[in-house]
Amino acid sequence: MDKIRIIGGTPLKGNIRIGGAKNSALKLMCASILTDGVLTLTNVPRLADIRTTAQLLESLGIEVAFETPDGDGAPQRLVMNGGTLNNTVAEYDIVRKMRAGVLVLGPLLAKHGKARVSLPGGCAIGTRPVDLHLKGLQLLGAEIELDGGYIVAVAPNGLTGAEVTFPFVSVGATENLMMAATLAKGTTRLINAAREPEIVDLAECLKAMGARIQGAGSDTIEIQGVESLNGAEHAVMPDRIETGTYAMAVAATRGDATLIGARPDTLGAAIASMEAAGVIVDRVPDGMRIRCGALVGTDVMTEPYPGFPTDLQAQMMALLSTAQGASMVTETIFENRFMHVPELSRMGASINLHGRSAMVRGVHRLTGAQVMATDLRASVALVIAGLAAQGETIVNRIYHLDRGYERLDVKLAACGAQIERIAG
Ligand code: EPZ
């Protein structure tokens, strides 16, 4: 298994180009199921999760082609032909690799009236059930049962619009229901919907395909079903989590770098939290410039958008590990998203866990160590810690990083980091 070796202590300086958003692209790809036409996505990142989703679509019969018109390393175009779909079963072997696989359920039901989709099961950051997805689809008229680890859903007469009130905010359930409702008869209202920028990106793509959607980005989304959707071309939004991750890496090394293509308007409370910790964030014409004065402790609590994102919690904790004073980091979205804490502690961080909160007492300097993590964001937090630490850090199990960060080592090395990938 490949590893990353870092010699810490070099401030990151230069430009870092931000890629297309993983968590938007995965759902946009699932939208190809809703049309008999061709959906083309541009600004698609080169990530393991994107390839897994492409395999999932191919297993349904959809023809998928990656194109790189601007040569190696440039963002990809992805061309998907929904008209070739000939199977409505999403197998365990693919869905188990990536929870987002359950996002084919709504589109399959809406377009083909049936679906058999493997239950995704738990994952390292928590149990992560899909009950809200299923209850919402049932309100739209789907009949659903569980059989041998699969969700078996049918809607023999098609789906019908309904009012769906989510008991709490779920990004995936909002997306699944929004896609399903585009082809339902009549009007669907999603109440207490997620407001994440990826929801807006998906709605924009669906609208380009002919869907009638209002209110995406607010807590109430109204969808008027249409007979059919056409093909379209859509550019994936820039990745706000990749943006926040590099911003924290630059700050942790007390560097000065510009994140090219970043969209600060999609970062929500993350910018205010970084500023409260002493990070200087300047909006520049094509992105954000990040510098850092003295880092000071600040309290952070994860919340649905526009609150501080859970997907930046681990990175923020790595940053706050070397701030002056104490910080309280509280995780409210997932029940088990502190796996980075023991690893950061091995690098000299002073962190105490109390239930859903972590008390971080800043130390003068972290020290390099051998570390590993069990999920994507925890892994990248260890890279940030390694960049800031004194000495050598080896991050093991980096296949997690390949799921969500494109050419991480190359982008960081271009800003002066001493980092290399070691094939294992
Ligand atoms: C998306 O997951 C993201 N994944 C996650 O990013 C992100 O952490 C999360 O949203 C929250 O922002 C993708 O977009 C592929 P949820 P999702 O449904 O949609 C509970 C990363 O690192 N819940 O908003 O699965 C759930 O267990 C990943 O890139 C139910 O109880 O998240 C969680 O506690 C990790 N029942 C909370 O709701 C349900 O039916 C929010 O989950 C659905 C969710």
Ligand 1 pocket test, pick from 47, 311, 340 with the greatest ligand atom count within 8 Å of Cβ, gives 311
Q: Whose CA is nearest to atom 19 of ligand 1?
A: 172
Residue 205 appears among annotated catalytic residues: no
Ligand 1, atom nearest to 134 Cα: 40
Q: Whose CA is nearest to atom 8 of ligand 1?
A: 311
How far is Cα 23 from Cα 100, in angstroms, rounded to an integer?
9
How far is Cα 409 from Cα 225, in angstroms, rounded to an integer?
45
Ligand 1, atom nearest to 310 Cα: 8
Ligand 1, atom nearest to 377 Cα: 22
Enumerate residues 6+ apart whose C-beta is below 8 A from 316. 248, 270, 273, 274, 277, 300, 308, 329
Specify the pLDDT at position 74: 77
* 253: β partners: none
Contacts by 419-424, CB closer than 8 A, 24 or more apart: 419/4, 419/5, 419/6, 419/7, 419/383, 419/387, 420/4, 420/5, 421/2, 421/3, 421/4, 421/5, 422/2, 422/3, 422/4, 422/5, 423/2, 424/1, 424/2, 424/3
Helices within 361-415 (DSSP H only)? 376-388, 399-404, 408-413
pTM of the predicted model as reported, rounded to 2 decimal places = 0.97
Side-by-side strand order, sheet with 143-147: 89-90, 114-118, 150-154, 143-147
Q: pLDDT, tens digit, for every residue of 357-405? A: 999 999 999 999 999 978 899 999 999 999 999 999 999 988 889 999 9
Residue with tokens 């952070």: 300
Vertex 348 angle, CA 342 and 349, to 5°:
65
How far is Cα 119 from Cα 177, in angstroms, rounded to an integer?
17
What's the gap in Å between 128 CA and the centre of ligand 1?
7
- Strand 13-17 relative to strand 256-260: parallel, antiparallel, unpaired? parallel
Specify the pLDDT at position 124: 67
Cis peptide before 306 (omega within 30 of 0): yes
The tokens for 199 are: 């929801």
Which 3 state secondary structure label does DSSP give 229? strand
Instruction: Give Cα separations from 339 to 134, 214, 266, 301, 373 (angstroms).
Output: 29, 39, 26, 17, 7
- The response to whether residue 195 sits with its C-beta less than 6 Å from ligand 1 reads no
Specify the pLDDT at position 84: 98
User: What rounded mean pLDDT belongs to the chain?
Assistant: 95
How far is Cα 229 from Cα 182, in angstroms, rounded to an integer?
8
What's the gap in Å between 11 CA and the centre of ligand 1?
33
What's the gap in Å between 169 CA and the centre of ligand 1?
9
Among 54, 56, 84, which residue's Cα sits nearest to residue 67? 54
Helix (H) or strand (E) holding 42: strand 38-44
Mean of pLDDT values over 316-341: 96
Amino acid symbol at 286: D
Q: State the greatest distance between any 2 C-alpha atoms of the chain, in Å, as a whole number.
A: 65
Q: pLDDT, tens digit, for every residue of 24-72? A: 999 999 999 999 999 999 999 999 999 999 999 999 999 999 998 776 6
Q: pLDDT, tens digit, for every residue of 138-162? A: 999 999 999 999 999 999 889 999 9
- The response to whether residue 334 sits with its C-beta less than 6 Å from ligand 1 reads yes
Q: pLDDT, tens digit, for every residue of 75-102? A: 899 999 999 999 999 999 999 888 888 9
Specify the pLDDT at position 126: 64
Specify the pLDDT at position 373: 79
* 153: β partners: 115, 144
